[in-house]
Structure 1
Amino acid sequence: MTSPGRDDEAPSFTDFSPNEFVVATPHVSRVLRLLGSADVLELESHEGIGLTRLLLHDVDEVAARFARTLRRSLVLPGSRTPLRAESPLEQVLAGVRLTFADRWDGWFPRLGKNRVMVGGEGAPIKIIRGDGPPAGDVPASDLPVPRAGGAGVTVGLLDTPVRHDITYDGRLLPGSSRLDVTETAALVQGHGTFTAGLVHQQAGDADLLVRGVLAGRDATATAWEVALALFDLVTQAETPVHIVNMSLGCFTEDNRPPLVLAAAVEMVRDDVVLLAAGGNHGRQGPKEVPTRIAPLWPAALDGVVAVGGRIRHGSGHEPAPFTPRTPWVNVLTDGTDVVSTFLDGKVSLGGTVEQFDGVARWSGSSMASAVAAGRLAALAGGEGGARGALARIVAGAPDDVLSVYSAPDAG
């Protein structure tokens, strides 16, 4: 019943698979002809998101072929911003874009890196680490009793697998990813168990379907893996999913959305509500990377509800210190020192190993996003389902859990 507390390791925003990239499927043959089909392996094509994942056998050798092109210019027609060309893969992507743009009056095919997420984009995807100081022991009696609501609603979660023996009062659906740990677990491996518990607290009658896309002791995945897991969740699950919570994210060097995540979000049905953690980088200094206002993906995508934490301020609320105060954060809810289900056994907290008894206290936007997903599930029984419930909240309908956020104009 210890608290996971704070993990000071900031999400990496530069990680990406060093020799993989993705291309819009209709233009794969053109890209292969440019690069030389013998130097590129087509790993996987996905009809649902319209992209193909490619592997360069020798990324350095292919990058060297574009040296002359890159020396001429790194700026696309009609743009003032130079393309990134620091790593060999970035040099290849810049060379492909510039070559096509030169031949076709500025046009080039959609292509990009296969980023990593911790719940984020870049190379591997990592988890949005918990925020806040350790809270000490947490009595089991502090675990909130689930609120009624959410009957007939299914909430999908893209996260780490959940604890092998947990059922959330029978609401965890078959096919959910289970965590099998035979040794001391890593802190981040309990992330999915915690967030699913928060959803269940807000909507005790809603069903939960967990896709453990953030795998291993470091809980990472590539953007491609997250995109395919999202597609599977909203199109292939036996039980229709109405709400998807993504307590994960990534940053990009140019603050532009990752191609793979954007493509996956675009294909989601209009009646499915996507929520994502807004990020824990609100305390960053002006010269720190990422900056305190850097967009986190997929939260900053237009088709996603970005959720931040909140604290009391006068008679209302304001963003919690870890929450970035940005225009793309849409909703605030409780994400500070919340109590939920966790791992049962020994857990590594970086330099120490502590015993947990299935309950913990944690803070961060991952937690806020899960709370918001559960609350929407509880409200989804009204007109318009989950989408209608969200529209009413955004329109100003009073609610004791969710509050709308509008960032001040920069000045």
Structure 2
Amino acid sequence: MDELIVDSRHCDEVVELLTDRLHVLPADHYRDADGVIGLTLVGPLDFAGYEPAARKQYADETDLTGMDLLFYDIGRRFADEHGFVPLLDRNTEDVLANPQHKGFGPAFAYDHVVPIPDTAAGEGVHIGVIDTAPTRHPDLPPSHVLTDTYFDPDETSKMVAGHGTFVAGLIRQKAPAAMIHMRAGLSSDTGRTSRWQLAKDIGAFVGDDIQILNLSLGFEDAEVPASTARALSRLSPAVFVVAAAGNDHTDRVWPGAFGSVLDVAFTGGETWSWINAAAPDDCPSAYLYGTFEDTPFTGYATWHGSSFASAFVTGSIAARMTTADMSAAEAYRSLTLDADSMVAALHA
């Protein structure tokens, strides 16, 4: 996907550079601006005629290619003219539910109802969730789960379509009285979304009254993703962000790897230095009704991965907030000191 994300304040100048001088952006290009996060998506880019000349121009300075070379080129020109480099990021479709290198682990059918406790744990706490759209399920009543859309599965649906339902069910098991605000940011067909869509979905919670944002998703990149960082920076400092650390990876998984985000692995899994906490991930939860990928489900499943450890922690924090009258950050610290919580701190 050859699209560029740029700081909206400098978009016009970047577009002029891309069209008139570097000739990588057609005159009939498209733009998608988001005023909340202050970013604009621009595309499509075409490197065919650009890259050979740029590689020759910068041969003595760098051996970068493709988008990396374009970023270098734009940065050099802006620095020479203005003394700064504008925010730039690439848009890719690599944001993944239950993030892991080797694809999704399967959900397994669970033949028993998983009761939602009849308690006030989580009362008054509002939790944001970006995931696949939830299905209609008795464990996810509209009185406690608000969503921008529902998913209605059919015989062609994949297991990943139940990811958001499973995550919301886990949160409700721990904090049944909390209010969950869901945004269907991940595709129910693939479990994926783009970095641009993720940034916009995070930005959609700006100004809302959520206290916790659960991101059971992620993507790998050796570089800090500037667009995700910008979106997170727009949230209130009081919003406690919990994210999945990834299951089978060799590099940092974003957005969990940001220092401002609680990065959660599953108990017994990888404990890289940037991971903050570990929690159980093998609890049964609400799921779809029907047969998917040749496996019949009756509304419940078991599943494995840091996505669900993240949801366990989110629900546990919400519950502790009300039972102990604490902020989200204070509740998390309290949980790590309580062996019965099963939430363990790993690294500072």
> C-alpha displacement at 1:364, in angstroms?
0.7
- Distance (Å, rounded) in 2 between the aligned partners of 1:70 and 1:31: 19
CA 32–232 in structure 1, closer or farther in 2 if over 3 Å, else same: same
> C-alpha displacement at 1:243, in angstroms?
0.9
Matched letter for residue 201 of structure 2 = A
- Distance (Å, rounded) in 1 between the aligned partners of 2:290 and 2:338: 42
1:71-82 maps to which residues of 2 (within 5 A)?
Answer: 71-74=59-62
Matched letter for residue 22 of structure 1 = I
- Distance (Å, rounded) in 1 between the aligned partners of 2:107 and 2:61: 53
| Farther off after superposition, 267-276 or 323-332 | 323-332
Aligned to 1:66: 54
1:250-261 maps to which residues of 2 (within 5 A)?
Answer: 250-252=219-221, 255-261=222-228
Provide the TM-score with structure 2 as the length reference: 0.88
CA 355–72 in structure 1, closer or farther in 2 if over 3 Å, else same: same
1:279-294 maps to which residues of 2 (within 5 A)?
Answer: 279-281=246-248, 290-291=249-250, 294=251
1:35 is paired with a residue whose SS is helix
Aligned to 2:132: 160
Matched letter for residue 279 of structure 1 = G
Q: 2:38 aligns with which of 50, 53, 58?
A: 50
Aligned to 2:232: 265
- Distance (Å, rounded) in 2 between the aligned partners of 1:51 and 1:132: 31
Contact 1:70 1:94 in 2 (8 A): no
- Distance (Å, rounded) in 2 between the aligned partners of 1:92 and 1:277: 31
> C-alpha displacement at 1:391, in angstroms?
4.0
1:141-152 maps to which residues of 2 (within 5 A)?
Answer: 141=113, 143-146=114-117, 148=119, 149-152=121-124
- Number of corresponding residues: 340
Matched, 1:386 2:332: no
Aligned to 2:26: 39
1:182 is paired with a residue whose SS is coil
Aligned to 1:6: none
Contact 1:266 1:303 in 2 (8 A): no
Provide the TM-score with structure 1 as the length reference: 0.75
> C-alpha displacement at 1:147, in angstroms?
6.5
Matched, 1:200 2:177: no
Q: 2:256 aligns with which of 299, 307, 317?
A: 299
1:377 is paired with a residue whose SS is helix
Aligned to 2:275: 329
Q: 2:99 aligns with which of 104, 128, 131?
A: 128
1:43 is paired with a residue whose SS is strand
Q: 1:221 aligns with which of 168, 178, 193?
A: 193
Deviations along 1:343-367, one digit per CA (max 9) or x if unpaired, are 110111xxxx111111111111001
Deviations along 1:228-281, one digit per CA (max 9) or x if unpaired, are 11111242x5xx2111110000011xx122111111111110111110001102
Percent identity of equivalent pairs:
26
Matched letter for residue 302 of structure 1 = G
Matched letter for residue 30 of structure 1 = E
